[in-house]
Every structure is written in structure tokens, then in C-alpha cells.
Chain A
């Protein structure tokens, strides 16, 4: 994983990748018990000009030139299939902007905050997302005031109330 993160940091330094943050199951693993997953979700700033499609081609070309080939929806980088996901809504943009900088061994990287991950999972709303939210709550991984702010800002309060009602929280 460290080598994978080093490649991502190099991409950033070379201007191929903008600001990025780890999301998904690996980000969840930062806060809760290890989550079984086969890939690394990397959210990045999507800077496509208004009205134009965002192209991942420069990113894929850069990686291919370094010997990292695309495999399905991901690119295999140093043993980890990496999925590059543009921050496609305001919640993800905020999660990306406010991600926490951490060290993985001796390599710096950024991980989405627990409150944003919970809000994203609530918004996504698959059964596995709900189950994972419960895991975040079980280990006291969220700061309630911060979560409340995120939910309010992104109009997810009603979703949250519904989630609490459904799971008797």
C-alpha cells in the first residue's frame, strides 16, 4: 500500500492528479475494524471545464507510461487496484477539501473524515453502507456536532432521522 500511495503522490507532484483523498472501504478501515475490500478508492478534484466531460485519459496515459495497466474499472498500482473517482457532488467536494492528512508508514496521504464518510454512506444508501455506518457509531468514530453540521449542510437530516428510525438508534 505504501508504494501505491507514493505513486499517487508522485502523480500529484507531476501535476497529473489534483488534490486527492482516500475514500470507501480503505478510508473506513482508518476509523473502524479492517474492512475486506479488493480496491483502493481515490477521490480527486474534478476540474473539467463547464459543460465538458471529465477525461481520465491523461491520468491513465501517465500510469500506462509508468507500466501500470488498467484492469476493469481500476488501475493496478503496486499490487492495489486503484479506482479514480471524481468528486462529483458538493458533499464529496467538501469531504475531499477537508480530508485529514495522515502518515502511512513514512508516506503522507489524505483520508476523508469519519463524518463525511458517514454522510456519503447515508447518501449512497446501500445495505452495506448502513451496516458500516452502524460500525462507525459502535466504535464512537464520529464527532456528533461535526456530523450534524455535515448532514445539515448537505440536506441529509431527514435521511439521518429515517436511518435512526429504521435501525432503532
Chain B
């Protein structure tokens, strides 16, 4: 036990999850990868918008600096 959780149990569950995911078809796995790319793209877009200086306005093509998945 580590603190208030069982590390061995956690590792066992993580391994079981990895094995389950590895058993998916290639097509299903690629769908997950594509979803992850989309999430990352949206996160990067949000960060870029937040990083804009105050008062700056959206200009045409500004979001194209980030490659869409």
C-alpha cells in the first residue's frame, strides 16, 4: 500500500486496460488516435486564443497556423 491507495492493484488495473485496448481492431485503435489528435488540436487552439494579447481581434487565417488534424 502507498498512502491510501494500493499501488499493486493500480498497476494491475492499468495493465489489464492496456491489454484490453491492445485487443481492439486496428481500425478501432486508429479511431481513438484520431480522436486524441482532435482533442489535442482543440486544446492547442484554445491555448493559442488564450495567449492572444487583450483587445486583439481574430484575423482571417489566424487559426490556420495550427495544422488541423
Contact = CB atoms under 8 A, between A and B. Distances in A.
The answer to whether A and B interact is: yes
A32 B26 CA distance: 10
Chain B, interface SS category: helix
Interface stretch (A33-41, A86-94, A118-126): A33-41
Contact of A105 (B15, B21, B27, B29): B27
A135 B68 CA distance: 29
Given A38-B69, A138-B19, A29 B40 contact: no
B52 to A, nearest CB: 22
B21 to A, nearest CB: 4
Contact of A30 (B26, B32, B37): B26
Interface string A57-92: 000000000000001100010011100000000000
Contacts of B29: 29-30, 33-34
A34 B69 contact: no
Contacts of B33: 26, 29, 34-37
Interface in B11-35: 15, 17-19, 21-22, 24, 26-27, 29-30, 32-34
Name, among B15, B18, B21, B26, the residue most crowded by chain A CB atoms within 10 Å (CB to CB): B26
A26 B36 CA distance: 13
Contact of A81 (B32, B40, B67): B67
A1 B30 contact: yes
A31 B22 contact: yes
B22 A36 contact: no
Interface in B30-57: 30, 32-34, 36-37, 40
Given A33-B18, A33-B29, A141-B22, 13 more contacts: A1-B30, A29-B33, A30-B26, A31-B22, A32-B22, A34-B29, A72-B67, A76-B67, A80-B69, A102-B26, A104-B26, A135-B18, A138-B15
